[in-house]
Amino acid sequence: AIVVTSVLLGFSLPVFAVEGDVIINEVMWMGSNAVSDADEWIELRNRTADAIDLAGWTIDGAGSGSNAITITSGVIPAGGYFLIGNYASSSSAISDEIIVDFVVPGISLANGGEVLTLRDATKGVVDVSPTGAWENSNNNSSPVGQRNSLERNDAPGTGTAWSDWHVCIDIGCNDTTFWDMEGVDYGT
């Protein structure tokens, strides 16, 4: 169950997640060029008008050996984002202005791709990524050292098709708005 706080009533009510309420919005599966291959992160997006408690949620396939990682605490704001990373912002190539909401030094995303399954605390499936290699994403190819995250489209679809995703290639995605220094790492 998801717990949301009712501003009008002043107390928490259990609400059940439905598929698509929270989505896997962006994946930096190859780490950063500036720090290390382990500088990996996953961003979640709340598509509802309620804050959602993520305590007990898991992401299957995001841990070492394709195991699950568990979010032990954290709330994703209404219409907001929740960043899960191997490192805190101060240790990552991510700009120190961007807060890593939950640090879990067990994120290990296979470079050959894998299915990520987001589950709520009751183990119900909330979102799933596509099967197979990280489609059209970049890891140290052209130009040398460039790394591009995979982002969900504005119209996110079910997430299970590569057509629901795109590679972060916009020139603004590598500047100091998102990174400690402008360079070859692309992501938002």
**What are the pLDDT digits (tens) for 145-162?**
667 777 888 888 888 888
- Bridge-based pairing state of the strands 52-53 and 102-103: unpaired
pTM: 0.82
| Segments of 7-164 assigned E as strands | 12-15, 22-28, 41-46, 52-53, 57-60, 69-71, 75-76, 81-85, 102-103, 117-119, 125-128, 138-139, 147-148, 150-152
Torsion angle, alpha carbons of 114, 184, 186, 88, to 10? 80
**What are the pLDDT digits (tens) for 112-133?**
888 999 999 999 999 999 887 7
With beta carbons less than 8 A apart as the criterion, state whether 49 and 78 touch.
Answer: yes
